[in-house]
């Protein structure tokens, strides 16, 4: 491969203590306090009822059989351990319902919601809220986001339900560094705009890896979409950009594209497009028109999706996000995402590839 850069692997062994991230600015508050469950209150809901804006609710390990509603702004809910701090809905209703702004939920297992339309976690008309490093299991929707904006869903493990992450009538939602597996659909984006889906692992979701329906101006990049009936489907969706994703062993890499226009399937040359496991082209040429001498890691012919859609610069090898947990094998777009992932524990080794990483 021409001009191939040497990668320098930097191994960082981390003894991890999960802590609050330094996130976007929030309203300045005074006299905030930490409420501990079950020390101060027996249930999470009682702690939420007693809390005021700016308070932290710290929940010790245990199984909490309850349904929690948060309708107060600027609360932070933190579990002691994502694997051992469990909110269990007992198969009924939505388990954690949030209709508030500036809310953070971190380090919980949230499981066993009711059937449609119930969710393990529901952000309803929420603004600037964060769901980090949780495990969501056995639900209709793992994380549902409706009528919300500027929320982030980061480093969660979402598995074994009908829909992993469901975004509806929302804008500027970031879905980053999640492991979304064994659902009927991995990610649904309905009637939404300006969303970012970046660096997620979507594996063995039975029907769709990603479904984009009546949505526009979103970016899908750095995702691995593997072993689904359909890797990605677009319906009445336009002006979306899809590049640096890995489409591997899906029965159909791309489902029928219906009434969708001006979607882009690559990041131009030399950045390239996506990796397609069924691409049969060769890499003998280089350059924007693939007519120059020497290979460049990009296929010489486009990957044809249909008569109106093509990836002009298909990648010859899978795209690899720059950060990897060597113990779990999972990749992440940022160092912080790898640290915050619910599957990362003390003593794990994080591989960081050569590059410049801007601190958030």
Torsion over CA: 205, 208, 209, 215 (sign): negative
- CA-CA distance, 338 to 79, in Å (whole number)? 18
pTM for this predicted structure = 0.85
Burial classification of residue 126, based on how many CB atoms lie within 10 Å of its CB (0-12 exposed, 13-18 middle, 19 or more buried): buried
pLDDT over 50 at 25, yes or no: no
More confident residue, 66 or 325: 66
8 Å CB contact between 360 and 333: no
- Kindly tell me if the per-residue pLDDT of 94 is higher than 60: yes
Is 66 inside a domain boundary? yes
Q: Taking 90 as the threshold, does the pLDDT of residue 23 lie above it?
A: no
Query: What's the rounded mean pLDDT across residues 265-291?
Result: 97
Q: Per-residue pLDDT for 330 more than 80?
A: no
9 falls within a domain: no
pLDDT number for residue 338: 80
Cβ-contact 45, 66 below 8 angstroms: yes
12 assigned to some structural domain: no
What b/e readout covers 194-229, taking b as 16+ CB neighbours within 10 angstroms? bbebbbbbbbebebbbbbbbbbbebbbbbbbbbbbb
Give the pLDDT of residue 14. Answer: 33
CATH of the domain at 148: 2.160.20.10
CB within 8 Å of 28: residues ≥ 6 apart: none
Report residue 230's pLDDT band, with 50, 70 and 90 as the boundaries: very high
Q: Where does the pLDDT of residue 329 fall: very low under 50, low under 70, confident under 90, or very high at 90 and above?
A: confident
Tell me the C-alpha distance between 148 and 156, whole Å. 19
| pLDDT attached to residue 13 | 34
- The predicted structure's pLDDT at residue 135: 98
Domain containing residue 175: 53-323
pLDDT at 39 over 50: yes
- Asked, for residue 269, whether it belongs to a domain, the answer is yes
Q: What is the pLDDT of residue 354?
A: 60
Per-residue pLDDT band for 328 (boundaries 50, 70, 90) equals confident
Residue whose structure tokens are 């003593």: 347
Alpha helices in the chain (DSSP H): 44-50, 335-340
* 15-39 average pLDDT score: 60
Q: Look at 35-44, 53-62, 154-163, 335-344 and tell me which has the smallest mean pLDDT.
A: 335-344
Please give the average per-residue pLDDT across 215-230, as a whole number.
98
Averaged pLDDT of the chain: 90
Alpha helices in 153-235, H assignment, sequence order:
none
Residue 165 has pLDDT above 70, yes or no: yes
Number of domains in the chain: 1
pLDDT at 12 over 50: no
Per-residue pLDDT band at 177 (split at 50, 70, 90): very high
pLDDT above 50: residue 20: no
pLDDT range class, residue 27, cuts 50, 70, 90: low
Range 26-50 average pLDDT: 88
Q: Give the residues across from 322 on adjacent strands.
A: none
pLDDT at 7: 37
Structural domain contains residue 99 = yes
Instruction: Please check the confidence at residue 327 and state whether its pLDDT lies above 60.
Output: yes
CA dist list (Å): 222 to 3, 157, 176, 219, 323: 22, 17, 9, 10, 12
| Cα atoms in the 13 Å half-sphere on the side-chain side of 324 | 15
Contacts with 324 (C-beta within 8 Å, 6 or more apart), sequence order: 330, 331, 332, 338, 350, 351
Estimate to the nearest angstrom the gap between the alpha carbon of 143 and the chain centroid: 10
The DSSP 8-state label assigned to residue 277 in this structure reads: T
In a domain, 18, yes or no: no
242 pLDDT more than 70:
yes
Average pLDDT over residues 34-56: 98
User: Could you tell me if 43 and 62 are in contact, meaning their C-beta atoms sit under 8 angstroms apart?
Assistant: no
Residues 6+ apart with CB under 8 A from 344: 16, 325, 328, 338, 350
pLDDT digits over 47-74, tens only? Answer: 999 999 999 999 999 999 999 999 999 9
Q: Can you tell me the mean pLDDT for 77-103?
A: 98
Q: How far apart are CA 121 and CA 116, in angstroms?
A: 13
245-254 pLDDT, tens per residue? 999 999 999 9
Contacts of 280 (CB under 8 A, 6+ apart): none
From the list 183, 190, 241, the residue with the least C-alpha distance to 211 is 190
Q: How many CB atoms lie within 10 A of CB 92?
A: 12
Q: Which residues are registered as beta bridge partners of 304?
A: 310
Q: Does residue 130 register a pLDDT over 60?
A: yes
Q: Is residue 334 part of a domain?
A: no
**255 occurs within a structural domain:** yes
CA angle 325, 223, 239 (to 5 degrees): 155
Instruction: Place 145 in a pLDDT band, splitting at 50, 70 and 90.
Output: very high
Q: What is the pLDDT of residue 264?
A: 98
């Amino acid at each position: 491969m021409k001009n191939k850069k040497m990668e320098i692997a930097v191994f960082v062994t981390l003894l991890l203590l999960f802590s609050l991230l330094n996130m976007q600015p929030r309203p300045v508050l005074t006299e905030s306090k930490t409420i501990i469950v079950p020390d101060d209150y027996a249930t999470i809901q009682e702690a939420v009822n007693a809390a005021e804006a700016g308070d932290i609710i710290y929940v010790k390990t245990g199984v909490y059989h309850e349904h929690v509603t948060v309708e107060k702004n600027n609360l932070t809910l933190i579990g002691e351990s994502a694997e051992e701090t469990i909110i269990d809905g007992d198969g009924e209703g939505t388990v954690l319902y949030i209709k508030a702004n500036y809310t953070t939920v971190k380090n919980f297992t949230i499981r066993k919601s009711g059937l449609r339309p119930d969710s393990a976690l529901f952000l309803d008309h929420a603004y600037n809220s964060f769901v980090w490093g949780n495990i969501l299991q056995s639900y209709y929707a793992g994380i549902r986001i409706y009528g919300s904006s500027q929320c982030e869903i980061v480093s969660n493990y979402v598995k074994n339900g009908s829909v992993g992450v469901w975004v509806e009538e929302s804008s500027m939602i970031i879905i980053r560094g999640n492991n979304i597996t064994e659902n009927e659909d991995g990610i649904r984006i309905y009637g939404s705009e300006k969303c970012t889906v970046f660096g997620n692992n979507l594996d063995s979701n039975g029907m769709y890896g990603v479904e984009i329906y009546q949505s526009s101006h979103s970016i899908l990049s750095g995702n691995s979409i593997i072993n689904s009936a359909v890797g990605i489907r677009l319906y009445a969706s336009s002006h979306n950009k899809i590049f640096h994703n890995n489409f591997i062993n899906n029965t159909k890499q791309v489902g029928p594209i219906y009434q969708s226009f001006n979607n882009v399937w690559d990041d131009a040359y030399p950045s390239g497009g996506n990796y397609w496991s069924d691409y049969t082209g060769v890499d003998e040429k280089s350059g924007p028109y693939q007519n120059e001498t020497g290979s460049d890691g990009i296929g010489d012919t486009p990957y044809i999706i249909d008569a109106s859609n093509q990836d002009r610069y298909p990648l010859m090898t899978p795209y690899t996000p720059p950060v990897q947990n060597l113990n779990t094998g999972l990749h992440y777009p940022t160092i912080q995402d790898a640290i915050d992932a619910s599957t990362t524990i003390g003593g794990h080794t994080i591989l960081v590839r050569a590059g410049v990483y801007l601190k958030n």
